[in-house]
Amino acid sequence: MALNRIIGRKAECERLEKCLRADQAQLVIIYGRRRVGKTFLVNQFFDGRFDFKLTGAYAEPKETHLRYFAAELHRQSGTNNPVPKDWIEAFELLRGYLAILPKTEKHVVFFDEMPWMDTQRSGFLSAFEWFWNDWGCTQDNLIFIVCGSATSWMIEKIAENKGGLFNRQTCRLYLQPFSLRETELYLKSRDIDWSRRDIAETYMIMGGIPYYLSLIDPVLSFNANIDNMFFRKRAELWDEFDHLYQTLFSNSEQYIRIVEQLAKKRMGLTRGEISERTKLPANGALTKMLNDLTDSGFIRKYAFYGRRSKEALYQLSDYYTMFYFRFIKDGFGKDEHFWTNTLDNPSRRAWAGLTFEQLCKDHIIPIKKKLGISGVLSEESSWFSSRADEENSSGAQIDLLIDRRDQVINICEIKFSMNEFQIDKDYDQKLRNKIAVFRQETKCKKTIQLSMITTFGVQKNKYSSIVTSEVLLDDLFETVR
């Protein structure tokens, strides 16, 4: 195993190690957002030593995949079999090849981007089910890894298969993006020693997606890198958006309509509001698209405090998609140094403040750790006043509530600033009004504590005593998994 190049992924590596030690056949499912590093993890963990490896090709027909299959079988076995006529014959050939390998050794088969192999009327999935149920699951020395970026397909067809693969998987790994801490470790492994504020802003642009991070040039500054990756003509990520959604969803234009509307409403939209804004019928098809986007990590289903679960909000949570709609979609190519030239632009500051709120929601575990409530059960949600247009409820919007089992609610005020954040008289009144309106409208009887989450802390003055607890940007870099 070549583990020295793997950043983070400790739990995933431990689980794969357990599969290696198991005394029965292993069907391992690995899925997660495109570009998140699934293939890299498998290749590095097994050091590229597979007894058979097949990678699906986007939008290629069955015949092309079967030719790829025959070529790989020829490389591994030395035999020169003709291209199989269908997937049943292909898996029969694979079975014959694996059956003659030494019984005393573990044998690893890796099918990468499996969803792309399951083309229309190809018969791939039923052939795979037959292969595994009839023979594969009986081979105690076989590890069969299936991987794919089309998360909805992986969940529906493999992980939650109601047919021949029902309850057949022995290991299911959902690969998440890097945390802030893992992003910092990855950058340092490439001799990129940026400030944590720059790393946080990098995260707010591209998330913890290893492929995007791999495109950073260690020689360039943070701002120059963003210009180079996103705003330079024909930059590496100039067409990433269309490619990303088209390769994951067959009717990608409808999925894009959903995320485009969510990009316009940072607090999120209900299912009904999404239907109204996108003109997509509020039926099972819309539910499936929302589930697909959630499973793929592009949106999150988020509770609204005090409302029923069916009134939950859907929020855009993919950083690259948020950045695309805010800065790239309508302005691409107009200024190759856009990011450098907007260093002190109000629009950029507003984006940073709003996106930092999303970053905090993705790092609830270190936030709770700093607040000293790691062991307390809680539910995170958002809230805004039902009378938001009334004068007495101005500013009554809470982006992060931590509703704790111990009868305490943390109202989190989140600020991304260049220096210590200063609470003045007006802001103090705004905070007090926010708490009062929240308690009045929700009839909340729990203890309320105001927690400030800031980049460099709250400046001590005569108004800062309203703050019960603080979380700094540095605290978000704590190891969370």
Q: What is the DSSP letter of 9?
A: -
pLDDT digits (tens, 9 = 90+) for 58-77: 999 999 999 999 999 999 99
pLDDT digits (tens, 9 = 90+) for 119-162: 999 999 999 999 999 999 999 999 999 999 999 899 888 888 77
Q: What percent of the chain has pLDDT over 90?
A: 81
Helix-helix angle 124-134:87-99, to 10 degrees:
30
* Per-residue pLDDT, 267: 86
Local confidence band at 393 (pLDDT 50, 70, 90 cut-offs): very low
Local confidence band at 481 (pLDDT 50, 70, 90 cut-offs): low
Average pLDDT, the chain: 92
Local confidence band at 168 (pLDDT 50, 70, 90 cut-offs): confident
Return the higher-pLDDT residue of 81 and 213: 213
- AA identity, residue 252: S
Task: State the average pLDDT over residues 342-368.
Answer: 94
Which of 109, 81, 105, 75 lies closest to 93 in space, CA to CA?
Answer: 81
334-341, Cβ contacts within 8 angstroms, sequence gap of 24 or more: 335/231, 336/227, 336/231, 336/232, 336/233, 337/227, 337/231, 338/227, 338/231, 339/223, 339/226, 339/227, 339/230, 339/231, 340/223, 340/224, 340/227
The sign of the torsion formed by the CA atoms of 457, 458, 459, 465 equals negative
- AA identity, residue 273: E
How far is residue 196's CA from residue 208's CA, in Å, rounded to a whole number? 14
- AA identity, residue 394: S
* Per-residue pLDDT, 272: 94
Local confidence band at 392 (pLDDT 50, 70, 90 cut-offs): very low
Please report the domains of the chain, with CATH numbers, ordered by start residue: 10-174 (3.40.50.300), 180-238+332-346 (no CATH), 242-325 (1.10.10.10), 363-476 (3.40.1350.10)
* Residues 127 and 88: beta-carbon distance below 8 Å: yes
Is residue 123 within a helix (H) or strand (E), and if so which, with residue range? none
Task: State the average pLDDT over residues 264-290.
Answer: 94
Q: pTM (2 decimals)?
A: 0.92
Q: What percent of the chain has pLDDT over 70?
A: 96
pLDDT digits (tens, 9 = 90+) for 400-451: 999 999 999 999 999 999 999 999 999 999 999 999 999 999 999 999 999 9
**Ordered alpha helix ranges (H), 331-363:** 338-341, 346-361
* Per-residue pLDDT, 205: 97
